[in-house]
Amino acid sequence: MGDLNEIFDLGRETLHRAEQRLDISRRDFLQFCSTLAVTMGLPSGAEAAIAKAIETAQRPSVIWLHFQECTGCTESLLRAEHPTLEKLILDVISLDYHETLMAAAGHQAEAARKDAMAAHKGKYVLVVEGAIPLKDNGIYCKVGGHTAVDLVKECAADAAAVIAIGSCASWGGMPSSGPNPTGASSLAEVLGKPVVTIPGCPPNPYNFLATVVHFLTFGKLPEVDKLGRPKFAYSRLIHEHCERRAHFDAGRFAMQFGDSGHRQGYCLYKLGCKGPETYANCSTIGFGDAGENNWPVGCGHPCIGCTEKGVGFTKPIHQVARMINVAPPLQYPRIVEEQGKGASFASAAALAALAGAAAGGAAMLTVNLGLSHQAEEAQRAKNGSKQKDDAEV
């Protein structure tokens, strides 16, 4: 119990200091920590560790570079609440260089970047927003007389962590779509090494904040997939958790914008929704605090696959998606025969299928399920003719 009290005391003290420093209510601060813990898929109780890290850890210096993009990534972060970005900037990270948010301009801005790099050598976090043009020695994007290529290489050399925010920096995004006249490229391509990526156009602000807070809380960046995306946010297809999935499974589709299916919230697959081939957590955490339906599919627009290289800004918007991990109703155990004779037959078939799987592996299961369907179909036909006979009698 002593330990528990100590933890509670520490928690109370941390919360009190956070309230004072962030000038937000205890409820808002805890809500913010819980949101990040949930976003990262951490177990219950992790919000206390996050709260402690935010309150006690030294704020990491962040240098944020902008190249070929629309500034939507920054805009998306500005829409984050609990608490608002101003407070995050001042109290969670030390945003020492950010071209669109800093008051300094010209030589002063350049000096701010150099000073931050020198003062936090080897410790700062470099965030890059936007693609980097490589064609013609990178002349298509310059800041302060330096090409984006030179700037990014210079800033990355002494960074503790490098994060590509948005699809443009992660894989080229919109600026790299054909014919890509400037040779717009991703941060990883330019640096020649993997970086953490937070794709999305714009990316979800909580995925970025959770990544930074993970760095603060655990002293390292989160686990990533082969494309550099934090697994906590990009390991599931949007389609797996979509609120319209029941309509997909039932075969109810909107066929045109504004038709009756669209108005009733049916699945948007036939309008080109790329949710079935796009990995991201949009369908589970939504965007910002705009209330319900706060993500593309939620408000009636098909997902364009903006987090996915080779899908977003590449495939035509209305082209139907490639199905990955499709689990249509045919692969589900049938439930229609659960009453009467069919039930025991179906159970026996399912048991046989499972026994087959245990002996022969997953492939066997598929085969057995297929066979059980055929057998079920035969049984259903038999039942049907029997019912017909009964009716005739």
In the list 47, 69, 277, 337, the residue contacting ligand FSX (rule: CB under 6 A) is 69
The DSSP symbol for 145 reads: T
Three-state secondary structure readout of 251-302: CCECCCCCCHHHHCCCECHHHCCCHHHCECCHHHHCCCCCCCCCCCHHHCCC
Q: Is residue 172 near ligand FSX by the rule CB under 6 A? A: no
Three-point CA angle 45, 46, 48, nearest 5°: 75
What mask, x for binding ligand FSX by CB under 6 A, covers residues 194 to 233? Answer: -------xx-------------------------------
Nearer to ligand FSX among residue 72 and residue 298 (C-beta) = 72
Q: Minimal distance in Å, beta carbon 267 to ligand SF4?
A: 3
Binding partner at 228 among ligand F3S, ligand SF4, ligand FSX, none, C-beta below 5 to 8 Å by kind: none
Residues in contact with ligand F3S by the rule CB under 6 A:
200, 238, 278, 280, 282, 295-297, 303-307
User: Of the listed pieces 30-38, 164-172, 254-262, 364-372, which binds ligand FSX according to CB under 6 A?
Assistant: 164-172
Nearer to ligand F3S among residue 108 and residue 177 (C-beta) = 177
3-state helix, strand, coil in the chain (%, to 5): 50, 10, 40
Binding partner at 269 among ligand FSX, ligand F3S, ligand SF4, none, C-beta below 5 to 8 Å by kind: ligand SF4
Q: C-alpha distances in angstroms, 62 versus 100, 265, 285?
A: 14, 42, 25
What mask, x for binding ligand SF4 by CB under 6 A, covers residues 244 to 273? Answer: xx--x------------------xxx---x
Q: Minimal distance in Å, beta carbon 166 to ligand FSX?
A: 3
Kind and range of the H or E element at 66?
Answer: strand 61-66
Nearest Cα neighbor of 133 from 180, 98, 193 is: 180
Give exposure, 87-103, as e/b (b: 16+ Cβ within 10 Å): bbbebbbbbbbbbeeee
Which residues of this protein are in contact with ligand FSX, per CB under 6 A?
A: 69-73, 129-130, 166-168, 173-174, 201-202
